[in-house]
Chains A and B, each alone.
Chain A
Amino acid sequence: MERSPALVGYYTIIRKEFVNMTRIWTQTLLPPVITMSLYFAIFGTFIGSQVAPIQGQSYIQFIVPGLVMMAIITSAYMHTVFSFFFAKFMRTIEEILVSPMPTWAVIAGFVTGGVMRATIVGILVIAVSLFFTRIPVFNIGVVLGAALITALLFAFIGLINGVFAKTFDAVQIVPTFVLTPLTYLGGVFYSIDQLPEFFRMLSLFNPILYMVNAFRYGFLGVSDVSMTLAFSVMGGLLLVSFCVTLFLFIRGVGVKS
């Protein structure tokens, strides 16, 4: 059966993204694995052995889902922001812009690239975590759903940042000043029930909290927030980021003069 031209274009972008990602695997796949291994060793094993169980889970078991989610978020985001910004910087984005590829296929190609990298990194980090602890799976549907929605969301956000970025410094601003603080404060290392009331309430405005907790619930069956609320927040943000990306691409923001 012959594939539609738009699908051929979509597969072409995915293939290109995969080749680029694996070509520089020491920069794309290896660093998160090393970083998370250090987290598992230091926070999970060395310090974690002296920390009391949280919500009935040993400390290392408690932090593993959050750390995997952290790697997924960073990988999905970094992939699309760099890939798109690089294409803009080298002007190779023009290869696509002059072609008859529909906007949805271009967006889908870049976003799939981000999700692909997030998935590979997520699997690698889970595999490494098994050297430190055993991770049960409470609900595989929730695990996969939370991981997919989060990867998609941050791939879209990375793409939006890539559209606006004019320098390599601008690419680094969001991960440094927004993503990292929100991730660390998103309940990766603690339950928000352990926080004073004000900070507990403040944490509820951090969207990453819902992603980390949904993912943790899928593995361990424990969470600080309800799954309905968590998936509503994630789904809502995904919809907004999708619409913003589509709008920017249709208008040619950042790529057309």
Chain B
Amino acid sequence: MNSTIPALKITDLKKVYAGEKGKPGTEALKGVSLTVEQGEFFALLGPNGAGKSTLIGITSGLTTKSSGTVEINGVSLDGDPDTAKASLGVVSQEINLNIFERVIDIVLNEAGYYGIPRKQALPRVEQLLKDLGLWEKRNDKAQSLSGGMKRRVLIARALVHEPKVLLLDEPTAGVDVELRRTMWDFLRKLNEEGVTIVLTTHYLEEAEQLCRRVAIVNKGEIIQEGNVKELLTSLNYVTLVVDTKDVISTAQFELLRHLDVKKVDENTLELTLAPGDSVNDAIRDFTKVGVVIANIRNNGSRLEEVFMNLIKN
């Protein structure tokens, strides 16, 4: 693959869902343009109804667009949909499996739809099911699998034809923490092998951990796009949660008033540092008034703070 050709190029994409019985339609996408380079790990973030899934739906051929263009590895989805789709793998948000089929058949059938004969697909399917911890379950019907296993079957199915670009719509929704971490490792490995990954997620920590670039979508528009690190530096304050060894007295709290602190509970303070503020100075002030710090941690995902600021504005 020519690395100068973007893995995914979306230009001025618009989608209006028809309204029911004379009601006006819903404008889900208002001219979205986006370029994802080869080998990137890219996230689309946004609240519910922002248009992320519509974007994925149009790119994967499941939703019709109102206008605009989509190119996958330089091939137009309108001009040559078969070639464009051949290099794309899609993991949907819904568990869209035939629950009466065996796991191995679900993945082998998908290979067939991509033109790969059953015998030829078998070694690849075996490897994928082993990598995703599903080999022991290969002869089980999908209905007997746990939610996490079903999600892994969706990933195996999307990868069976060795796509160059993988679209994942909320891949870890409803998955427990341990499995989410395992899936992250799997996706990281896949990305290192050269697969371009585009995912939508509600878990901002997921985007922060996995992606180099993100786009924040809100009300059908991309309101911010860029490198995760750059987005984080755009955040002009840091909020730290300080757990204290002993109960914080009123007198101690009053003496710390010159800092931007909020009392969360009798053993916890929330400290906000503006640009130029030093953590060392703050700790020194805490020590000076006799507060013994047990632990200091970041207040949740920093990307979440960027996200919330952008959405609010």
Contacts and interface: CB of A to CB of B under 8 A. Distances in A.
Given A92-B97, A257-B57, A257-B63, A98 B85 contact: yes
Nearest to A102: B82
Interface in A63-105: 87, 90-92, 94-102
Nearest to A12: B112
A162 to B, nearest CB: 16
Interface residues of A, number: 30
Nearest to B59: A98
B68 interface: no
Given A4-B115, A90-B98, A99 B109 contact: no
A8 B109 contact: no
Given A23-B100, A90-B96, A95-B157, A256 B115 contact: no
A163 B100 CA distance: 22
Contacts of A97: 61-62
B114 interface: yes
A167 to B, nearest CB: 17
B64 interface: yes
A8 B17 contact: no
Nearest to A16: B109
Interface in B85-111: 85-86, 88, 90, 92, 94, 96-101, 105, 109-110
A40 B115 CA distance: 46
Contact of B115 (A6, A13, A23): A6
A8 B116 contact: yes
B17 to A, nearest CB: 7
A5 interface: yes
Nearest to A91: B96
Contacts of B113: 9, 12-13, 95-96, 99, 101
B81 A100 contact: yes
B117 A8 contact: yes
B139 interface: no
Interface of A: 3-6, 8-9, 11-13, 15-16, 19-20, 23, 87, 90-92, 94-102, 252, 256-257
24 contacts: A5-B114, A5-B116, A9-B113, A12-B109, A12-B112, A12-B113, A16-B105, A20-B100, A23-B100, A90-B96, A90-B99, A91-B92, A91-B94, A94-B92, A94-B96, A95-B110, A98-B62, A98-B85, A99-B113, A100-B82, A100-B115, A101-B113, A102-B82, A256-B63
Given A94-B90, A95-B109, A95-B110, 4 more contacts: A90-B96, A95-B113, A97-B62, A100-B81
